[in-house]
Chains A and B, each alone.
Chain A
Amino acid sequence: MKKVKSAFGLLTATALLATMVGCGGSAGDDSSATSSPAGTEKLKKISIFQSKVEIAEPLEALVKKYKEETGNEVEVWGAAGDAYSTQLQAKLTANEGPTIFSVGTGAEAEKFKSYYYDLSNEPYVKNIAPNMALKIDGKVVGVPYGVEGFGLVYNKSLVDPKDVTNLESFTKTLEKLKAEGKNGLSLSQEAYFLIGHIINTPFALQPDPQAFIEKLNKGEVKMADTKEFQEFAKFMEAIKANTKNPMEVKYDTQMGDFATGKTAMVHQGNWSYSMLKDYGDLGFEIGMMPLPLAGNNKLAVGVASNWVINGKASADEIKAASAFLNWLFTSETGKNAIVKEFKFIPAMVNIEAADLDPLSKAVHEATKSGQTIPWANNYFPQGIIVNDLAPAAQEFFLKKDMTGEQFLQKLDAAWAKAAK
C-alpha cells in the first residue's frame, strides 16, 4: 500500500513538473519568435484593441490583407463592446496594453491621455477633415474612425417627417400610431439607447454645451430650471405614455420590430443599419430625422471613436503602428475597407464616401450642409450615462406615476452625485 502511494506521488510530481517545464518552454518560444527579425523590412508585430463590435470581423480580414500586401503582422484582440474602457484600463495598467487602441472623444480621451503618442508629424493626419482630429493639449493624438450621427430613424410608409416637427405634432403622431396598433417610437434598455443619446439633444441645443456641462458639474445650473430640459421631460412623458416600455426592449428587438414594421420610429444612429441589413428587403423606405425638441431640425453628428497609438509601447512598435495607420488611411485597400467594409462615413478628406446606406447618407448630407448639432454627451463626466443617468431613466420608465418633472429632479440629483 505504502509503495503504491509513493509511486502515485512520484507520478503526480512528475506530471506537475512536466507541466511547469512545458509552460516555461512555450513562453520562451513565444518571446524568441517575436523578437527575431525574419525579413529585412519586417516591422515589429503590433496589436490592436478597439471598441466597435460591428467592425470586428472586417478588421480581422483587413489585417490579413495587410499581411499579404506588406508582410507585417497585426494582431486584433477582439472587440469588447460595453466593457471596453474597463478592459483597456486593466490591460494598460498591467503594462500589457495594445499598440493601437481606440478611445471615445471627450471624457474617455481625457482619461487615457497619458498614453497617447503624438501624431502631429505623421503624414496621414493632414487628411483629417477640419475640426475632426482628436487633440489633447494642442497636439493631434487620434485619428477619427469616421463620423456618426443619430436622430429619429423612421419608417417612411408610417411616418411623414412633416408630422414630427415639435412636441405637439410629435405627441399627436405617437397617439395616432398607438390607435392604429403600432408602436410609435421605441427606445431600448441599453444605457445609451435609453437615455444617453436622447438626452444629448437638450444639451446640444444650449448656446455653449461644454460651458453648460461645466456649470452643471459645479451645481450652478439645474436641468429642472432649464427650458430645453423641461421640454425634454415632456417628450419623455409623451414617449412613456404612448409607447412600449423601453425597459422591455433590447437593441435587437428594437431594430427587429422596426424592420418588421411593428415600430414606426426608433431613436438610433446610422450604425443601426447593420442590424436592418440582416432583414434583407424591408418593404419600406427608411430615413433619419432630427428629434424635434424645441423645434430642433438638425441631426446629432460627431466622432465616437478615434485610433490612437500607445506612447508607452517600444519605439519599434510605435513605428510599426504608425505604418499600419498610414496604410489604413492612404492605401486603396485601407480606404476601401473603411468605406465599404466598416461602413464608416469617412472623416478624412482623401476618402470619398461611396454607396452609403440611407441612414449614413442622411448623416453625410447633414454634415456637408452643416445641419448638425454636436455630441455634447462626449463631455459628460466619465461613466455618468451608464452609472447614474440610466438608473434614473429606468426608474422613470418603471414607476407609472413618476412625472417628467420628478424625472428631471432625479437626473439633477444623479448628476450632482456623479460630478463630485
Chain B
Amino acid sequence: MGDKTMTAEEAVSRLESGMTLGIGGWGSRRKPMALVRALLRSDVRDLTVVSYGGPEVGMLAAAGRLRKLVTAFVTLDSIPLEPHYRAARERGAFELAEIDEAMFMWGLRAAANRLPFLPVRAGLGSDVMRINPGLRTVTSPYEDGETFVAMPALRLDAALVHVNRADRLGNGQYLGPDPYFDDLFCAAAESAYLSCERVVDTAELAKTGGPQSLLVKRHRVTGVVEAPGGAHFTSCAPDHDRDEAFQKLYATTPWPEFSARFLAGDEAAYRAAVAAWREEGA
C-alpha cells in the first residue's frame, strides 16, 4: 500500500491536453479549486469537462481551456448565473453537451459499472434529445414496453474531487451533509486525484464520522493532495462555508483582472492575495 500523497502540481502534471476530466462537487460546493488553480497554471488545454458546474467551469472557460463541457447547469448557487461561463458560452467559446441532472448521474453510474449505458426516464420530449443528436433510446424488453433514454456512460480519463479528510493511501472522507457524486466521479475515471482539507492517519478517519462518511475508497485514487482551503471560495462544510464576499468579487471582476491578481502565482500566492484583499476590506 503506497503513499499517494503528492502536490497539486504533481497531480496536474499527469493530466494531458485533450483529456476528459470529471470534476466533483456541485455548483459552488466542495469544488476541488486548488487542483483547478494548479490546472490553470499548467498548459493543459482542449479539455472535455464533465461537471455539475460551478466556478471551476467559469474559470476554465474564461481561460480558454475548454473544448467541450458536459453538464446539466452551471451556477454559483447564491449567485444563480455564472458570469464568466455565460460570457464564454455566448461567444461560442466551447462545445456544450447539455443533459439533465439525472441523466448525468446515470452516465456516471454506467461508467462506474462498466456498462455502455443505463436507461433513464428523462430527456424524452425535451430538447435534450435535439441538442444531443447522438443520444439513443431503448425499449423495455418486458411487458411494459416503455421507451427510455439510453444514457451513455460518462467515462473519464481523470477525476478531480475535494473532500474533508483523507489518508495517504487515498481513502477519502466527507463530513458535510452531502456526498454529491464524488465517489462516482472517481469510479468513472481511469485515474482520480483527491484533494482534502487535511491528510490524517487512517486510524483518525474512523474517529470523525462513521464508516459511512468514508466516501472515496483508495483503490480508485491515484493521488492525494493536502490542500487546506482547497475548495475556496466554494463551500466545504463543515470545515468552512462558501466565501460569499470573495465569490461576489470573482463574479463582478473582469476575468483578466481577477486572473492577474489571484491566479498568477502558486497556491500560497493565491492565499496571500486573498488575505491581502480581505485586509483591504477590513
Do A and B bind? no
| A binding-site residues for B, Cβ under 8 Å | none
| B binding-site residues for A, Cβ under 8 Å | none
